[in-house]
Amino acid sequence: MNITTENLQTAIDRIQNRIGPIGDEMNMLDGQLGDGDLGVTLVNGFNNLAEIRDDLPEDLGKALFNAAKAITAVSGSSFGTLMATALMAAGKSVKGETSVALTRLPDLLASAQEAMIARGGASLGDKTMLDVLDSVIAALREAGDDPRNMQQAALSAANKTLDEYRGKPNKVGRARVYSEKSVGLDDPGMMAVKRLIECLAA
Amino acid sequence: MKKLINKPEDYVDEVLEGMALAHPESFVIGGSTGRMLHRPAPVSGKVGVVSGGGFGHIPVFAGYVGEGLLDACAVGDVFASPDMNPMLEAIQFADTGKGVLCVVGNYGGDRMNFDMACEMAEMEDIACARVIVADDVAAAGPEESHKRRAVAGFVLVTKVAGAAAAAGKSLTEVTELAQRAADNLRSIGVALTSCTVPQAGKPTFQIADDEMEIGMGIHGEPGVRRGKLRPVNDICDEMIDLLLADKPMAQGSRVALLINGLGATPAEELYLVFRRAKARVEAEGARIAFHLVGNYATAMEMAGASISVLHLDDALEELLKAPASNPFWKA
């Protein structure tokens, strides 16, 4: 199976259909540690992606770049910037291709992760979405190329990482200020990644 | 809040409209969100020079669109970075095939968004370069100079970049000259009163009538020392001492001096600052080869001033003195 712009459009549809309640949940989670706008960022971002979905070009690299543009146009928060960064990095690694083998998905995510580390300055272990992404990438490398297996493997990796980090303090960003308070809470960015993976189930 | 405004949320767009109406020969509003000012037409055969940043610092940033200066500029909300899209549109406008230099103030949002805009532009095969301006010596020590924020000295880097591009230099050369200007630039400010962001509606910080703060940033970021207000010569001496401690002036060297008003300080007082600063520079055995006195990078209605020193060589001096045409550029 391959990744095409059509798959990207399907993913946007699936997430956008369920983004409302996810947004409420993320605002609540983020409000405990930060300024409570993570949900707004996600909802605005995916609604804008839905706006441009029909116009996404066949070139997967360009499609991912256009998706990044759509995200940044409506969300100035750092999470929005990092999502756009991730999409651009993934886009760059498939520039000029219209169909990419699903087995390359971990590599795309790894390039996205690397770009987010460079731009945002967080490290692995800081209790951010990077930690979830890291375990998801590792799980996907083992999961073969059946989409259903890949989604399941990604989801259980995300759950495992959330469990692992719940008792640890946040080490970066605004949540760092409330480092002690963050012990026992799920990181909103980590949870957001898990919810997005859940949306991808057919 | 006492301001001549309509609705706070319309402030930026209406000011831009006013600027374009007042100076149609220099400023045209563009971009899909109307948050980009550009010259009436792109100038082909030269490197494009663009900038972008939060609003509320007129003439920085958008006010410097003009001949021998910027080709286009992305505009954010008051004291908030524009997103990447108007930045990308500014780059696309300014590119006529020789590439584009982005002159960027050292603020997180400006940097990250210009990073992304440049990546996007490169995807469209537009060659991009960036120079980060970080001139405020109050923001971090010399060993962490990369963490310094940009203040009024930004204007001098913009002028150097614009003039180098107008002279037909390559993207590499324009970038090298602008970087050299940024590396040899030091600034320090003093604030006497706060500013009020229209959408916030109340002063950004509190400062007593008889107090001043040395080293305050152009958004009201904390400075290095708050104390009783002193005579202008004393304040000036403290500021010049900080600049000299960071980068001494060699005997026989040349500098450019910018005395900048933050918005609410009258020209008379800026001339008092210039008078003392000039005497101090000359006492160091250096010479002022170029100077500006006026409101070049403001912080809404903040009272206060900043002093910027750019250490010159022949090339930088020539570029600063090169002609430029713009409603705000008065050399």
Scanning chain B, the segments in alpha helix (DSSP H) are 11-22, 84-94, 108-123, 154-166, 171-183, 232-246, 267-283, 314-321
Q: Of the candidates B97, B98, B95, B101, which has an alpha carbon nearest to the alpha carbon of residue B114? A: B101
Considering the candidates B146, B219, B291, B311, report the single residue annotated as catalytic.
B219
Mark yes or no for CB contact A65/B123 under 8 Å: yes
Q: Is B219 a catalytic residue?
A: yes
Asked if this assembly's ipTM is beyond 0.85, the reply is no
The torsion region of residue B220 among left (phi > 0), alpha (psi -120 to 50) and beta comes to: left
Q: How far apart are CA A94 and CA A90, in angstroms?
A: 7
Active-site residue, from B38, B57, B146, B311: B57
Give contacts of A60 with chain B, Cβ < 8 Å: none
Between A182 and B301, the higher pLDDT residue: B301
pLDDT, greater one: B166 or A178: B166
Nearest-by-CA chain A residue for B111: A119
Out of A34-38, B92-96, B140-144, B169-173, least confident range: A34-38
Does the domain made of A2-200 have the CATH classification 1.25.40.340?
yes
Q: What is the pLDDT of residue A81?
A: 87
Q: Is B22 on the interface with A (CB under 8 A)?
A: no
Measure Cα distances from A47 to A7, A62, A78 in Å. Answer: 17, 19, 18
CA neighbours closer than 13 Å in the CB half-sphere of residue B320? 27
As a whole number of angstroms, the distance between CA B19 and CA B9 comes to 17
CB atoms within 10 A of CB B167: 16
Q: Minimal Cα distance from A80: which residue of B?
A: B83
Does A179 have pLDDT greater than 90?
no
A30-46 pLDDT per residue, tens: 888 777 778 888 999 99
- Bridge partners, residue B292, by sequence: B258
The predicted pLDDT at position B310 comes to 98
Give B 266-295 residues with CB within 8 A of chain A: none
- Tell me what pLDDT residue A177 has: 66
Kindly report, residue by residue over B217-235, the tens digit of the pLDDT: 999 888 999 999 999 999 9
Does A106 contact B at CB distance below 8 Å?
Answer: no
Which residue from A65, A76, A92 is facing B83, i.e. has the nearest CB? Answer: A76
**pLDDT higher than threshold 80 for residue A69:** yes
> Residue B243 half-sphere exposure, CB side, CA atoms within 13 Å?
30
Q: What does the pLDDT look like over B11-55, one tens digit per residue?
A: 999 999 999 999 999 999 999 999 999 999 999 999 999 999 999
Check residue B302 and give its pLDDT: 97
- B80/A contact by beta carbon, under 8 A: yes
Minimal Cβ distance to B123: which of A73, A81, A95? A95
Return the residue of B nearest to A74 by Cα.
B83
Q: Where are the domains of chain B?
A: 10-184, 185-321
**Interchain CB distance below 8 Å, A61 and B123:** yes
pLDDT tens, residue by residue, B195-212 = 999 988 999 999 999 999
Chain A residue numbers with beta carbons less than 8 Å from the beta carbon of B81 are 76
Average of per-residue pLDDT across B156-171? 98
Q: Do B112 and A65 touch (CB under 8 A)?
A: no
pLDDT band at A76 (very low <50, low <70, confident <90, very high): low
Q: Tell whether A84 lies on the interface with B, counting CB pairs under 8 A.
A: yes
Distance CA B329, CA B64 (A): 7
Residue A19's pLDDT band (cuts 50, 70, 90):
very high
Q: How many helices (H) and strands (E) does chain A have?
A: 8, 2
What fold does the segment set B10-184 form as a domain?
Rossmann fold (3.40.50)
Contact B112 A92 (CB under 8 A): no
Q: Which of A22-36, B1-15, B27-41, B143-157 has the lowest mean pLDDT?
A: A22-36
In the residue annotation, B291 being an active-site residue is answered as no
CATH 3.30.1180.20 describes domain B185-321: yes
Q: Cα separations (Å) of B198 from B3, B60, B219, B268?
A: 8, 18, 13, 27
- Residue A45 or A175, more confident: A45
Q: Check residue A174 and give its pLDDT.
A: 64
Of A61, A84, A95, the CB nearest to B116: A84
Q: Cβ of A28: how many Cβ atoms within 10 Å? A: 13
Prior bond to B61 cis, omega within 30? yes
**Quick one: tokens of B270?**
């800026």
What count of Cα atoms within 13 Å lies in the side-chain half-sphere of residue A106? 16
pLDDT tens digits, A122-158: 899 999 999 999 999 999 999 999 999 999 999 999 9
- Cβ within 8 Å, pair B84-A65: no
Is B184 within 8 Å of chain A by CB?
no
Percentage of chain A surpassing pLDDT 70? 96
pLDDT at A141: 96
